[in-house]
Amino acid sequence: AGRNARRLPPAPRGLPLIGNLHQVGALPHRALRALAAAHGAPDLLRLRLGQVPALVASSPAAAAALMREHDGAFATRPYFRTAEILTYGFQDLVFAPHGEHWRHVRRLCSAHVLSAARSHGFGGMREREVAALVRTIRERAASSPGGVVDVSKALYGFANGVICRAVSGTGRLSREEEGRRSELFRELIEENTALLGGFCVGDYFPSLVWADALSGAGARARRNFKRWDELLEKVVQEHEARHNGGGDEEEDFVDVLLALQAEKQDDGFELTRDAIKSLLEDMFAAGTETSFIALEWAMSELVRNPAAMQELQREVRRAGPADATPYLRAVVKETLRLHPPVPLLLPRECMRDAAVLGFHVARGTRVFVNAWAVGRDPASWGAAADEFRPERFLAEDREVDFRGAHFQLIPFGAGRRACPGIQFGLATVELALANLARLFDWEVPGGAAPGELDMSDAPGLTTPRRVPLRLVAKPVRWEEQQA
């Protein structure tokens, strides 16, 4: 058949020049679901974002078609200008452009993250960070009027701490130096998020890249990159000095990468110093924000749904402090179903023309998978799809995987580009949540009803709460509970 005979997915009409950019809005996951519904495109919707052709998948079937049937054709990430500046020029891992490079790096990195998450050393690190979180909440509750705590702030500090420890260890820094460094990492991550989530003209109008020079985005990215590089270089040098001095600290991510660098890879792949620093930067960026957002929404939903909170408290107060119990697991799954922290996953790019669900998709198309819409699809989740009901995951005959095997639940993506930090992220979220439910009772401040809690999400490519979560934290006395 000729070009004209090819069937294309439905598309809303666009404006000259900008195409459909104006229809994507500040909350793209919501806007895109509405657009798909309005244009009779339950599976695949075609858009034009500036000069870039794009495709949005909004159903489990479409997600499966892209990430299982055609995974190989959609396994690359589009080129982003700010990302290139921020990540040592070769955008490996998260934003790998065309080429084989990312496959090697990713294999190494997933292997590490997964094994480290299980190893004893990492478990201990995580428990220390949870203990620090509990201390922080107790202190803030005791010193604030009415016991009100900025839970979002505490959770962000916790998620950041876990990643800092896992990636670069504690080394031999003093507590003060360590605190300063965590603070600096936080600042750099936030600036990365702002830059990557922001609109960069060159990303949608490749012929207008010069416009970014005018907007200042390029210069801002270069400034932030320089600060990253100084910090990461210091971290790597400290580890090298430590190796030479023969220390006995717990192994962290930098250690593993340096060991990998020393080994010669049989495929000739070389882990350069820039590649190491780029990977470290990716880990910080990908691991902190996501775990934080998952925890923030889990606490929000539990406080809004007191029966679920009580059920969880009953369960974790019976179990040990580090046990991931069935209801706890269900709460985490239900949270990620309703609030996937990266609602459109990370964009992919079509590497060769493909026929997806009978539609023609051209090479170079930028692809978004609306995991948020998929998780709320009434065809999979029934009439109460928008409600928080962890019990739905307890029925044994309805086991739903959320690591990429069942396409109605894909908060971590699926296929070759799925999140390699799943185990690590889940272990972090489960342990923190178990302890927050075990050691405190929680209330909405000012005597407001649980149902009045604001549940709106912030604009951007990740979706934390729009307003910080502030709750009354009441420490429970452990001896009383056990009596």
Where does this chain bind ligand HEM (CB under 6 A)?
93-94, 106, 113, 282-283, 286-287, 290-291, 294, 341-342, 345-346, 411-413, 417-421, 424-425, 429
User: What is the SS3 assignment for 299?
Assistant: helix
Distance CA 354, CA 58 (A): 18
HEC per residue, 437-474 = HHHEEEECHHHCCHHHCCCCECCCCCCCECCCCEEEEE
CB of 445 to ligand HEM, least distance (A): 27
Distance CA 400, CA 226 (A): 44
Residue closer to ligand HEM, measured from CB, 106 or 165: 106
Helix (H) or strand (E) holding 359: strand 359-361
Measured in residues, the chain has a length of: 483
Residue closer to ligand HEM, measured from CB, 19 or 390: 390
Q: For residue 382, which of 397, 390, 392, 391 has the smallest C-alpha distance?
A: 392
Integer distance in angstroms from the first to the last C-alpha of the chain?
Answer: 77
CB of 400 to ligand HEM, least distance (A): 16
| Position with the least CB separation from ligand HEM | 413
419 is in an annotated binding site: yes
Please report the DSSP string for 40-78 in residue order: T-SSEEEEEETTEEEEEE-SHHHHHIIIIITGGGG-BPP
CB of 383 to ligand HEM, least distance (A): 26
Residues contacting residue 96 through CB under 8 Å, at least 6 positions apart:
76, 77, 90, 102, 105, 106
Residue closer to ligand HEM, measured from CB, 217 or 344: 344
CB of 292 to ligand HEM, least distance (A): 9
Residue closer to ligand HEM, measured from CB, 205 or 372: 372
Q: Taking CA 13 as the corner, what is the angle to CA 11 and CA 19, rounded to the nearest 5 degrees?
A: 100
Question: Could you identify the residue written with the tokens 């780029």?
Answer: 278
383 secondary structure, DSSP code: T
Residue closer to ligand HEM, measured from CB, 109 or 444: 109
Residue closer to ligand HEM, measured from CB, 86 or 141: 86
Q: Token digits for 305? A: 């749904």
CB of 289 to ligand HEM, least distance (A): 9
Residue closer to ligand HEM, measured from CB, 97 or 321: 97
CB of 109 to ligand HEM, least distance (A): 6
CB of 471 to ligand HEM, least distance (A): 21
Q: CA dist 254 to 57, 163, 166, 362, 370, Å?
A: 37, 12, 9, 40, 34
Residue closer to ligand HEM, measured from CB, 141 or 302: 302
Contact 116, 122 (CB under 8 A): yes
Q: For residue 350, which of 73, 98, 92 has the smallest C-alpha distance?
A: 73
CB of 286 to ligand HEM, least distance (A): 3
For the annotated binding site for heme, the residues are: 419
Residue ranges for the known binding site are 419
